């Protein structure tokens, strides 16, 4: 099978995912979150329930547009290269926000998603939880950032990993609070604004502890 076939399959996969997300959001908007069943979402597309679960773990994830966190070696190298010279917290927070970007981008479903989240703020936890599911990959990526930071490069790999384990919860908490504020504000902040707010929150904590 050539690259062209793989490209067609990937486009089809992305199209099906987008259709499921749209169906889930619109159905939940029309009949309520409780009544928007996976079966009803699948009937709208239409696809089988089995196909649905190839893309999402739950209807809530489809509504939010939660995607599997992908962090391969090439993407980590790209992030390390492109973020070089920036403050450490900003680099780590940018890495975390990349995992959320597809679901918080300003799409045509943005307003409908925001309305559902406002009615069911508990959904926000599922959005941030994907960062926890990718814990080991995030630690490794953060350690790679530290390895290219002059202050942490002299440390051994074990110390870099330990430092990464300490930094991630702080930066992750800042991202969670920044996104929570974003929801409360009606989702009017841009991704760079979210990042600046999260960096500001980390700075306040560090300043308080100093």
Does residue 91 share a domain with residue 59? Answer: no
Retrieve residue 180's tokens: 């929570």
Does residue 168 share a domain with residue 104? Answer: yes
Does residue 85 share a domain with residue 42? Answer: no
Q: Give the domain-ending residue among 43, 64, 85.
A: 64
pTM of the model: 0.62
Does residue 169 share a domain with residue 132? Answer: yes
Which conformational region is residue 65 in: left (phi greater than 0), alpha (psi within -120 to 50 degrees), or beta?
left
pLDDT at 179: 79
In this predicted model, what pLDDT tens digit does every residue of 67-85 receive, in sequence order? 665 666 777 788 888 888 8
Residue 57 belongs to domain spanning: 3-64
Q: Give the domain-ending residue among 23, 39, 64.
A: 64
Number of domains present in the structure of the chain: 2
Q: Confirm if 117 and 124 have CB atoms less than 8 A apart.
A: yes
Residue 90: Cβ-neighbour burial (10 angstroms; 0-12, 13-18, 19+): middle
Does residue 121 share a domain with residue 47? Answer: no
3-state secondary structure of 120: coil
Q: Confirm if 61 and 50 have CB atoms less than 8 A apart.
A: no
Question: Does 105 score more than 60 pLDDT?
Answer: no
Q: Model confidence at 5, in pLDDT bands (50, 70, 90)?
A: very low
């Amino acid at each position: 099978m050539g690259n062209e076939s793989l490209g067609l399959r990937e486009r089809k996969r992305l199209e099906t995912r987008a259709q499921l997300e749209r169906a889930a959001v619109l159905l939940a908007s029309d009949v309520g979150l409780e009544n928007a069943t996976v079966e009803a979402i699948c009937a709208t597309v239409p696809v089988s329930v089995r196909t649905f679960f190839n893309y999402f773990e739950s209807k809530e994830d489809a509504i939010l547009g939660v995607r599997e966190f992908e962090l391969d070696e090439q993407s980590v190298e790209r992030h390390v290269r492109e973020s070089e010279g920036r403050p450490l917290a900003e680099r780590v927070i940018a890495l975390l926000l990349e995992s959320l970007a597809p679901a918080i981008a300003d799409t045509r479903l943005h307003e409908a998603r925001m309305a559902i989240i406002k009615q069911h703020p508990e959904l926000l936890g599922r959005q941030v939880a994907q960062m926890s599911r990718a814990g080991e990959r995030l630690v490794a990526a953060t350690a790679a950032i530290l390895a290219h930071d002059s202050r942490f490069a002299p440390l051994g790999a074990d110390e870099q990993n330990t430092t990464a384990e300490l930094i991630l919860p702080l930066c992750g908490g800042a991202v969670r609070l920044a996104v929570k504020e974003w929801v409360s504000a009606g989702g009017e902040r841009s991704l760079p604004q979210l990042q600046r707010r999260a960096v500001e929150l980390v700075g306040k904590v560090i300043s308080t502890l100093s």
